[in-house]
Structure 1
Amino acid sequence: MSIRPWRDIQRRVSRKIRVGSVEVGGDAPISVQTMTNTLTSDAKATIEQVLACAEAGADIVRVSCPDEASTKAFREICRESPVPLVADIHFHYKRAIEAAEAGAACLRINPGNIGAPERVREVIRAAKDHGCSIRIGVNAGSLEKHLLEKYAEPCPEAMIESGLDHIRILEDNDFHEFKISVKASDVFLAAAAYQGLADVTDAPIHLGVTEAGGYVTGSIKSAIGLGNLLWMGIGDTLRVSLSADPVEEVKIGFEILKSLGLRHRGVNIISCPSCARQGFDVIATVAELEKRLEHIRTPMSLSIIGCVVNGPGEALMTDIGFTGGGAGSGMVYLAGRQDHKMGNERMIDHIVELVEKRAAEIEAAQAVAMKAAE
């Protein structure tokens, strides 16, 4: 039994598929995706963005393929990408076939606009021939006409029916390497659709609140919608949709997963909002530390608290902690214990050194353990 059952999340049981080298579903970690916003026909710019997203931690990157020039450039982009790429296809089924031939790990198709079933079958054939998986991407803003006539408006039932209709087409063609999403810009609609979908299929589920808005608004809507679904155990891969740099989508996606204990990457900074009791400038310090610790990928925790009200208690639960005191200095905690004092003027440099040292220790211990397991 867990010692903290109130933190346990029982993930929905789904079957496992592959998106290139990344496993999705089953017992695989929940993967983080994003999407490029460069012109795909500009291979150089798109490759640079894919590399930046991968460096930020993206497991999978989606690339829009709206025209033939894009699918031609897509071949080079696939060749240079360190992570699997999903080709985003709308309207033109031939672009999906071209993308599969160019090296796509997955084809994202929207049942509301891909066309007749026979066209979908051609896409399936291309996916089989080239080892691609498929994402069925249902979107409240582009539901099939007959479903809108049946239900009068986008609703969870319409979105689920759309998804199940498309699942049936794939399965009737003996294709099972697929995942599915039912996205909406309305958090309530998206959440209800995902909950209903989770009850009627064992396919891996791709989470997202689509067209969520700018950085702040979109992050909040995504955290509410995705966070609640993940807490319920629903979701095998996700994308945070922001009108912002795709790298920010990756960061927010990881932060959502880290807050629920579902993924761990880099330094988790626990910090107070600051007040008149603070012994140093908490806000400026945390902002600087976030920049200077971006290169750390090893999971670890760091508490930065302005005063002794909550500082010692938070430090008990973190790898490294700093609590503000008086006379221009504060207390450094290591593994929850008071270790030494440090002046505010050297505090940031000192914390960065401690984090880097601790990360190296963790990595060395992991390497030893892996070697012993061999």
Structure 2
Amino acid sequence: GFGDVVISLKASDVKTTIASYRLAAQELGDYPFHLGVTEAGITRIGTVKSSVGLGVLLSEGIGDTLRVSLTGDPVDEVKVGWDVLQSLELRRRGPNVISCPSCGRCDIDVVPLAIQVNEAVGGISAPVSIAVMGCEVNGPGEAKSADYGIAGGDGISLIFKKGVQVARVTPENQLAALMDVINEDLAKSPQPTES
């Protein structure tokens, strides 16, 4: 018989998509599945729907390929797909920037700094994690699993590697200091493109 088959059961709502793939995996487990929530919507809601649907299925071991369907730029679909895979640690490509939610201890405006860090590390292909934290007291400890990070304070910023402080700099120099530490380490070893 003909065996070159990939099964796709996409629906436009998350619960139907998940239920359909679960049933298909139970009944037709030997076939590869192409996952997706079709017609998911504009960028924000489409990203949420796709992330939830794909994330649940992939975390259960269901799925071989995927497609994110967004109303908008197809490049965003690819980025969201990679982000879903990276968040589940199924693939690693490029930096993963994490940032604190700006609690009452926050001494800096984390949002613009996190955006600047994201932009600055955009060309890095190595799968490194970078934390942007809003206070120098708890920041390094809370983000100690990150490869690199900034913990901003009142007039001072700490640059750290694996939770250990490696520099104290002024806020004006924090981004450059972070990039110097990252680039120095990456220059010592070849950059893997993905894992």
Q: TM-score, normalised by structure 2?
A: 0.90
Rounded Cα–Cα distance in structure 2 between residues aligned with 1:359 and 1:281: 28
- Cα deviation for residue 344 of structure 1 reads 0.7
Structure 1: 5+ residue runs without aligned partners? 1-171, 367-374
Please list, as runs of the form range in 1=range in 2, the aligned pairs for 1:113-128 lying within 5 A after superposition. Answer: none
What does residue 49 of structure 2 align with?
Answer: 221
What is the rounded CA distance, in whole Å, between the counterparts of 1:210 and 1:306 in structure 2?
A: 38
Q: Decide which structure has greater helix share.
A: 1
Are 1:259 and 2:61 an aligned pair?
Answer: no
The alpha-carbon deviation at position 183 of structure 1 amounts to: 0.1
- In structure 2, the partner of 1:355 is 182
**Which aligned pairs between 1:11-90 and structure 2 lie closer than 5 A?**
none
Map residues 208-357 of structure 1 onto 2, 5 A cutoff: 208-308=36-136, 310-326=138-154, 328-357=155-184
Residue among 34, 41, 51 paired with 1:206: 34
Q: Sequence identity, in percent?
A: 43
**What does residue 181 of structure 1 align with?**
8
Structure 2: unaligned runs, 5 residues or longer: none
Q: CA deviation at 1:268?
A: 0.7
In 2, Cα distance between the equivalents of 1:295 and 1:177? 38
Partner Cα distance (1:310, 1:207) in 2: 40
Aligned mates of 1:304, 1:346 — CA distance in 2: 14
RMSD: 1.8
How big is the shift at 1:337?
1.2
Letter in 2 for 1:282: V
Q: Answer with 190-199 or 303-312: which moved more.
A: 303-312
TM-score, normalised via structure 1 length:
0.48
Amino acid at match of 1:184: A
User: Do the aligned residues in 2 keep the contact of 1:303 with 1:314 (CA within 8 Å)?
Assistant: no
The structure with more strand, counted as a fraction of residues: 1
Q: Which residue identity does 2:70 align to in structure 1?
A: L
